């Protein structure tokens, strides 16, 4: 069996620990298609937060408390940069993490595509699943916000800031009009992505942020079409439990789109494949049992990713939804 997972960073990485455990039991192969919309160049280094969260988590090198970056991290480089007054100062750049960004940036500068660079980094981390960036091209999520300084007529002006600045520096608390995926129109799926989707027996949407983790993946031309046109069932796992995003700020992102922060709201945002969307089935938490979404098979199961065993059961429940008839098994 071949499983493809569309994923963001921290939430997706946790989910993938369960997918990997399931796959080991079932003898399945896993490919993760990872968001690159958070990627950013800082201090001359190419940083890929979601790819790194997944790689470090699956490779056993992630900081378990912080959820991002390396375990046993030190911050000398960050302090030294601050001593120079080098901007930005609000971004967490750990010493161990810097080594990853140096290797990545050097390889990219030498002409290797991001997918090949990711492979090379994974030779060290051995994540146990195949990691593919959604695209090798530059695709950046920006937030269009009201510029507090602009507009002498009182109408205000708008400006776009990188998602990292919106999220990390401003905690998503600026008046925000929309998100744009800069570069998406010209982006192509990374080498291997379309083949993975074509060969998939099941596609899972991790319980990642739908607005800024999954949407930028789907914004790569051809990727959404491959998903919708493919033979594999597409099963989503809700990132929202009982009206709350569990961890993180998905509620702030959903609010920008005017989508209710509920399990049904996110399912309707993705849409049923039968009605022009992408999903065949939707797994919600037991707290949301009874939620109905037109066109979708909906089932409830515990969705708190407390440990690998609980997460593995979640994955099992999601995959069962792709095999109608067995779904009660
Ligand atoms: P990011 O790129 O680091 O923001 O991570 P993701 O986009 O992959 O995942 C973030 C999302 O994971 C959050 O918005 C939460 O809604 C969701 N999430 C985090 N922990 C859990 C959990 O235990 N269960 C479920 N169902 N969702 C979770
Ligand atoms: Ca992310």
pLDDT, tens digit, 9 for 90 and up, residues 286-298 = 999 999 999 999 9
Domain-located, residue 155: yes
Q: For 139-154, b where at least 16 C-beta lie within 10 A, e where not — what string?
A: bbbbbbbbeeeeeeee
Domain-located, residue 175: yes
Domain-located, residue 164: yes
Domain-located, residue 272: no
pLDDT value at residue 65: 87
pLDDT value at residue 329: 37
pTM (whole model) above 0.85: yes
pLDDT value at residue 248: 85
Domain-located, residue 144: yes
- Parent domain of 178: 140-182
The CB density around residue 39, as the number of other CB atoms within 10 Å, is 23
**pLDDT averaged over every residue in the chain:** 95
Q: How many domains does the chain have?
A: 1
Q: Does residue 303 have its Cβ closer than 6 Å to ligand 1?
A: yes
Residue to mutate (ligand 1; options 6, 7, 8, 11; most atoms within 8 A of CB)? 11
Tell me which residue of 272, 185, 178 sits closest to 233, measured CA to CA. Answer: 272
Which residue, by CA, sits nearest to atom 17 of ligand 1? 239
Domain-located, residue 171: yes
pLDDT in tens, 249-283: 899 999 999 999 999 999 999 999 999 999 999 99
Domain-located, residue 178: yes
Give residue 155's pLDDT band: very low, low, confident or very high (50, 70, 90): low
pLDDT in tens, 175-229: 999 999 999 999 999 999 999 999 999 999 999 999 999 999 999 999 999 999 9
Over pLDDT 90: what percentage of the chain? 91
The CB density around residue 208, as the number of other CB atoms within 10 Å, is 29
- Inter-residue contact 14 to 57 (CB < 8 Å): yes
Q: Residue range 66-82: average pLDDT?
A: 94
pLDDT value at residue 66: 87
Domain-located, residue 121: no
pLDDT value at residue 328: 43
Question: For the packed helices 10-26 and 49-58, what is the interaxial angle rounded to 10 degrees?
Answer: 40
Q: Does residue 36 have its Cβ closer than 6 Å to ligand 1?
A: no
Ligand 1 nearest atom to the CA of residue 12, by list position:
8
Cα–ligand 2 centroid distance for 13 (angstroms) = 10
């Amino acid at each position: 069996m071949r499983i493809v997972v569309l994923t963001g960073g921290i939430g997706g990485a946790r989910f993938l620990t369960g997918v990997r455990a399931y796959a080991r039991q079932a003898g399945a192969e896993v490919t993760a298609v990872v968001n690159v919309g958070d990627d950013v160049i800082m201090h001359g280094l190419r940083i890929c937060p979601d790819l790194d969260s997944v790689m470090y988590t699956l490779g056993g090198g992630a900081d378990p408390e912080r959820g991002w970056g390396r375990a046993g991290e030190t911050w000398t480089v960050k302090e030294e940069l601050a001593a120079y007054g080098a901007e930005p100062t609000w971004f967490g750049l750990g010493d161990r993490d810097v080594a990853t960004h140096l290797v990545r940036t050097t390889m990219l500068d030498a002409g290797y595509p991001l997918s090949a660079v990711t492979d090379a980094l994974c030779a060290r981390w051995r994540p146990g699943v195949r990691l593919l960036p959604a695209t090798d091209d530059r695709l950046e999520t920006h937030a269009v916000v009201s510029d507090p300084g602009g507009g002498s007529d009182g109408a205000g002006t708008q400006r776009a800031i990188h998602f990292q600045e919106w999220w990390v520096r401003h905690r998503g608390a600026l008046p925000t009009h929309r998100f744009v995926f800069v570069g998406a129109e010209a982006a192509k799926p990374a080498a291997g992505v379309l083949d993975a989707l074509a060969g998939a027996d099941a596609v899972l949407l991790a319980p990642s942020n739908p607005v800024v983790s999954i949407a930028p993946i789907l914004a790569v031309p051809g990727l959404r079409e491959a998903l919708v046109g493919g033979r594999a069932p597409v099963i989503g796992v809700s990132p929202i439990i009982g009206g709350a995003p569990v961890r993180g700020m998905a509620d702030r992102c959903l609010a920008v789109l005017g989508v209710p922060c509920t399990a049904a709201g996110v399912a309707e945002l993705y849409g049923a494949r039968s009605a022009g969307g992408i999903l065949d089935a939707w797994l919600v938490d037991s707290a949301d049992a009874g939620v109905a979404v037109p066109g979708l098979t909906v089932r409830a199961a515990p969705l708190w990713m407390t440990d690998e065993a609980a997460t593995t059961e979640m994955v099992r429940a999601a995959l069962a939804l792709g095999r109608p008839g067995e779904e009660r098994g």
